[in-house]
Structure 1
Amino acid sequence: MVHKQDDGGRLGAAEIGAELGERATLLQFSSAFCQPCRATRRTLAEVAGMVEGVAHVEIDAEDHLDLVRHLEVLRTPTVLVLDADGAVVRRACGQPRKADVIAALGAAVRD
């Protein structure tokens, strides 16, 4: 479920604290003691390394509460797939499977 597309709906380097990927960005919200966040970090970094032009950016949810509220992130890990323009095209809560991340990326770079 994707929210807040009509109020600016795009995220950029200023909001996430890192440059967007040329083709897509895997934006991960984590927290310090979240065990699934570690596994998610590994999965997303691996996929980003496999697909040219894709960046993986991890954000500490506790340090970015305004963004967490704006994007309605309710738990960690939450992963947002952003297209090249920073629009949220996919969203997942919990630890994603590698195949699902690759499929979501396919949708992001195609759109």
Structure 2
Amino acid sequence: MANSLTADTLGLNGPLGERATLLQISSGFCAPCRAARGLLARVAETTAGVRHVDIDVAHHAALAEQLIIRQTPTVLLLGPDGTVLARHEGVPRLAAVRELLDRLAPTGA
């Protein structure tokens, strides 16, 4: 698995989140992916320094292979430097995402 991901590697306009990036690997017709997208977007909108990025596995097959994506959605919590800090397969629970952000990337850290 990649040690560190960059905005360029992910094909992003703009940088990774200052505090953390919630990287979601999705597929086009995945209902759980839509649920995860809404939840993670809400977390990013309400949490300073956190960015949500959703990439489609079909358009990023090499990256998905490198990250060993076995199901969608898969969510990776990236630190500010792009290091993968945590991984979750399936739709995460809101409380679990917030707790993970607080534990791994506290405000002001």
Please state how far the C-alpha of 1:92 moved relative to its aligned partner.
0.2
Cα deviation for residue 94 of structure 1 reads 0.3
**Counterpart selection for 2:54 from 58, 61, 75:** 58
Q: 2:10 aligns with which of 13, 16, 26?
A: 16
Q: Which runs of 4+ in 1 moved over 2 A?
A: none
Aligned length: 105
Query: CA offsets per residue over residues 51-88 of structure 1, 9 Å max, x none?
Result: 10100000001110110010101110000000111000
Mapped partners of 2:55, 2:95: distance in 1: 22
- Letter aligned with residue 84 of structure 2: V
Which of 97, 105, 109 pairs up with 2:101?
Answer: 105
Residue 72 (structure 1) aligns with: 68
What is the RMSD of the two structures over their aligned residues, measured on CA atoms? 1.3
**CA contact 1:81–1:108 (8 Å) conserved in 2:** no
TM superposition shift of 1:17: 1.5
TM-score, normalised via structure 2 length: 0.91
TM-score when scaled to structure 1? 0.89
The aligned counterpart of 2:43 is: 47
Distance in 2 separating the partners of 1:86 and 1:108: 13
Give unpaired runs (5+ residues) of structure 1. Answer: none
| Shift in Å, 1:16 | 1.1
Shift of 1:14: 1.1
Tell me the distance in 2 between the aligned counterparts of 1:41 and 1:23: 19
